[in-house]
C-alpha cells in the first residue's frame, strides 16, 4: 500500500504537545467516503494555532493539521464525485477533529467537498483558502444587508492577514472606498497596492470603546474582535453593518446597545466552517468572478511541505502577510 508523509500533532499524558512527520498509508486515515490526493493546501491563522498549540484548536489526538485542501479524487463512494475529479475542501472540522490536509492523502466525507470552481486552479483555490473564502462570505453578508459602495466607506481590520488582504482586494474591485486597519502601518504601500484607499493604525481602535463614536463608515469586516470590533461598531453609520469573522485580539466584546438601538447598526456573524454546499458553491463562484488574479498572486507566497511548521509559527507571531500556498504533492 502506498506510503505518504503527514504532519502529526500529538500530546502526551501531561498534555504536552509535540510534532513529527510520519509515514502513513491509506489504512491509517479516518472514516469518510471520498479519498483525495492532496496537491495543495495553505496555512491559515487557525492552522498556526493548531501547530503551535497557542490555543486549543485541535480537539482529537493525534491529529493531522490543515483545514484547507485542493486535490484530485482517488476513489469515491459518493455519487457526486468520481476518480479524477478536482475538488476543494474548507473547514468542517478537518485539521481539528478529522485528519487534515498536511498529508499526501485525505479521506473525508463527500458532503464536505465541492468541485473545483471553473477558472481557478487548485493553487489559486488555496491562495484563497478558508481566509479568502471567509472574506467572500463577509462581502456577501454585507450585500444581503443591502449595503453598496455609494453609501460610504468600508473598514477592514486585520488588514495584513489572510482574510483582510482578500477582503480589501474584493471590496476595492467592487468599487468600495476601503479603510484598512493594521498594527503594521509600515505595510501601507502594500495595502494600497491591494486597493486600500486609507490605512488606519489599529491603535486608534484599540482603546476603551465609547458608547457611540463619530460615524466613519457604513460597513465593516472584522477579523480581530474585542475592543477593535467594539470601536468599529461605535463608529458605524446609521443602518450600517459589520461582518465579524475572527478573534485575533480576543473573544470578548465589551460594548453597549447604543449602536444597535440608536443607529440601527447590525452585527453580522460569519461562520465559515459548516456552510451548506449551495452557499459554498455560490461564494466560490463569486470568488472566481470577482477576485483580481494579479492581486491574488501579489499577496501570495508559495512554500513546500517542509516549510509548513515554521510558517505556522510565523503566522501566529504576526510575521506573515497575505496568503500562503503549500505545495503538498
φ, ψ of residue 63 in degrees (nearest 5)? -145, 140
Average pLDDT, the chain: 96
Domain with 210 in it: 130-269
The angle that helices 122-144 and 277-290 make with each other, rounded to 10 degrees, is 100
Confidence band of 55 (pLDDT split at 50, 70, 90):
confident
Do 152 and 91 have their domain in common? no
Inside any domain, residue 125: no
Q: What is the CATH number of the domain that holds 93?
A: 3.90.180.10
**Strand extents, DSSP E, 161-297:** 178-182, 196-201, 217-222, 236-244, 266-269
Mean pLDDT of 21-40: 98
Closest CA to 105 of 10, 34, 9, 43: 34
Q: Considering its fold, how many domains does the chain have in total?
A: 2
Inside any domain, residue 280: no
The angle that helices 162-173 and 122-144 make with each other, rounded to 10 degrees, is 70
Do 263 and 161 have their domain in common? yes
Domain boundary among 269, 289, 309: 269
Do 41 and 100 have their domain in common? yes
Do 13 and 103 have their domain in common? yes
Do 310 and 265 have their domain in common? no
Do 260 and 306 have their domain in common? no
Domain boundary among 221, 254, 269: 269
Q: Which three cell numbers stand for residue 146?
A: 443591502
Mean pLDDT of 184-194: 93
Domain boundary among 269, 287, 313: 269
Determine how many CB atoms are found less than 10 A away from the CB of residue 75.
13
How do residues 70-95 score in pLDDT, each as one tens digit?
999 999 999 999 999 999 999 999 99
45 vs 305: CA distance, rounded Å: 17
Do 55 and 181 have their domain in common? no
Do 64 and 140 have their domain in common? no
Do 81 and 156 have their domain in common? no
CB 70 within 8 A of CB 116: yes
Q: Does the pLDDT at position 324 exceed 90?
A: yes
Mean pLDDT of 274-290: 95
Please report, to the nearest 10 degrees, the dihedral formed by the alpha carbons of residues 313, 317, 321, 327 taken in order.
0
Higher-confidence residue: 166 or 1?
A: 166
Q: Which three cell numbers stand for residue 186?
A: 509600515
Q: What is the CATH number of the domain that holds 153?
A: 3.40.50.720
Do 65 and 166 have their domain in common? no
Q: Say if pTM beats, i.e. exceeds, 0.85.
A: yes
Q: Which three cell numbers stand for residue 205?
A: 481602535
Inside any domain, residue 193: yes
Contacts of 271 (CB under 8 A, 6+ apart): none
300 vs 56: CA distance, rounded Å: 27
pLDDT of residue 119: 92
pLDDT of residue 1: 80
Do 102 and 145 have their domain in common? no
Confidence band of 196 (pLDDT split at 50, 70, 90):
very high
Do 240 and 139 have their domain in common? yes
Q: Does the pLDDT at position 207 exceed 90?
A: yes
Inside any domain, residue 281: no
Amino acid at each position: 500500500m502506498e506510503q505518504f508523509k503527514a504532519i502529526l500533532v500529538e500530546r502526551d499524558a501531561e498534555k504536552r504537545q509535540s510534532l513529527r512527520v510520519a509515514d502513513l498509508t491509506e489504512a491509517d486515515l479516518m472514516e469518510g467516503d471520498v479519498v483525495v490526493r492532496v496537491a495543495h493546501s495553505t496555512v491559515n491563522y487557525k492552522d498556526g494555532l493548531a501547530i503551535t498549540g497557542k490555543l486549543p484548536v485541535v480537539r482529537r489526538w493525534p491529529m493531522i493539521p490543515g483545514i484547507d485542501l485542493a486535490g484530485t479524487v482517488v476513489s469515491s463512494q459518493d455519487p457526486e464525485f468520481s476518480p479524477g475529479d478536482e475538488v476543494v475542501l474548507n473547514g468542517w472540522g478537518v485539521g481539528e477533529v478529522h485528519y487534515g490536509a498536511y498529508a499526501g492523502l485525505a479521506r473525508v466525507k463527500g458532503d464536505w467537498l465541492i468541485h473545483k470552481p471553473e477558472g481557478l486552479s487548485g493553487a489559486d483555490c488555496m491562495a484563497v483558502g478558508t481566509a479568502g473564502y471567509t472574506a467572500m462570505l463577509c462581502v456577501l453578508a454585507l450585500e444581503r444587508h443591502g449595503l453598496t459602495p455609494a453609501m460610504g466607506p468600508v473598514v477592514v481590520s486585520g488588514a495584513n492577514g489572510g482574510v483582510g488582504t482578500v477582503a480589501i482586494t474584493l471590496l476595492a474591485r467592487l468599487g468600495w472606498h476601503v479603510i484598512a486597519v493594521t498594527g503594521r502601518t509600515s505595510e501601507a504601500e502594500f495595502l494600497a497596492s491591494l486597493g486600500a484607499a486609507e490605512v488606519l493604525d489599529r491603535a486608534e481602535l484599540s482603546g476603551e470603546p465609547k458608547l457611540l463614536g463619530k460615524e466613519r463608515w457604513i460597513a465593516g469586516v472584522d477579523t480581530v474582535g474585542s475592543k477593535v470590533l467594539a470601536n468599529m461598531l461605535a463608529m458605524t453609520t446609521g443602518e450600517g453593518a459589520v461582518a465579524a469573522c475572527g478573534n485575533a485580539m480576543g473573544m470578548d466584546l465589551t460594548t453597549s446597545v447604543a449602536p444597535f438601538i440608536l443607529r440601527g447598526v447590525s452585527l453580522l456573524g460569519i461562520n465559515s466552517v459548516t456552510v451548506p454546499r449551495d452557499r459554498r458553491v455560490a461564494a466560490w463562484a463569486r470568488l472566481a468572478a470577482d477576485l483580481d488574479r494579479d492581486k491574488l498572486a501579489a499577496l501570495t507566497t508559495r512554500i513546500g511541505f517542509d516549510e509548513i511548521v515554521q510558517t505556522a509559527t510565523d503566522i501566529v507571531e504576526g510575521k506573515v502577510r497575505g496568503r500562503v500556498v503549500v505545495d503538498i504533492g
